[in-house]
Amino acid sequence: TYTVTLTPVADGTVSVTVPAGAFTDGAGNLNTASNTASAIYDAIAPTVTISALSGPTGGEFTATITLSEASTDFTVGDLTMVNATASMTGSGTAYTVTLTPLAEGTVSVAVPAGAFT
């Protein structure tokens, strides 16, 4: 058994294969080609764009949140609100957030860096 550590140089698919004839065993027999082991390397954090708040409609504001790449773990818990509670619908790269003000004054929503992957 051998362990190989790969250091990717760019985002994308990282693969490793051992070609036929790369080594011999104790009896001098050449190896056969291995299977290919692959993984996706993605070191670029997604970016977030939040549209200007629209409303209020019925006391609520809405905004559209667009992610630069699809996420499977982006939730309303990743949002930071000021003077509001929030609900959110959507998936992948497109979300709609509805903000309900807690009191008169400024209402805002943000997504902190590193909040999701």
Residue ranges covered by each domain of the chain: 1-44, 48-110
pLDDT band of residue 3 (cuts 50, 70, 90) is confident
Among 98, 116, 110, 105, CA closest to 58: 98
98 or 43: which leads in pLDDT = 98
Beta-ladder partners of 91 = 94
> Would you state the pLDDT for residue 55?
82
Average pLDDT over all residues of the chain: 93
Q: What is the pLDDT of residue 75?
A: 96
8 A C-beta contact, residue 83 and residue 103: yes
Give the model confidence (pLDDT) of 51-105 as tens digits.
Answer: 998 888 778 999 999 999 999 899 999 999 999 999 999 999 999 999 999 999 9
Q: How far apart are CA 28 and CA 35, in angstroms?
A: 21
Query: At residue 29, does pLDDT exceed 80?
Result: yes
Q: Please, how many CA atoms are within 13 Å of residue 46, restricted to the half-sphere of its CB?
A: 21
β-bridge partners, 92:
71
Categorize the per-residue pLDDT at 50 as very low, low, confident or very high, splitting at 50, 70 and 90: very high
What average pLDDT does range 1-17 have in this prediction? 89
How confident is the model at residue 43, as a pLDDT? 87
Q: Chain centroid to CA 70: how far?
A: 6
Which pLDDT value is given to residue 70? 92
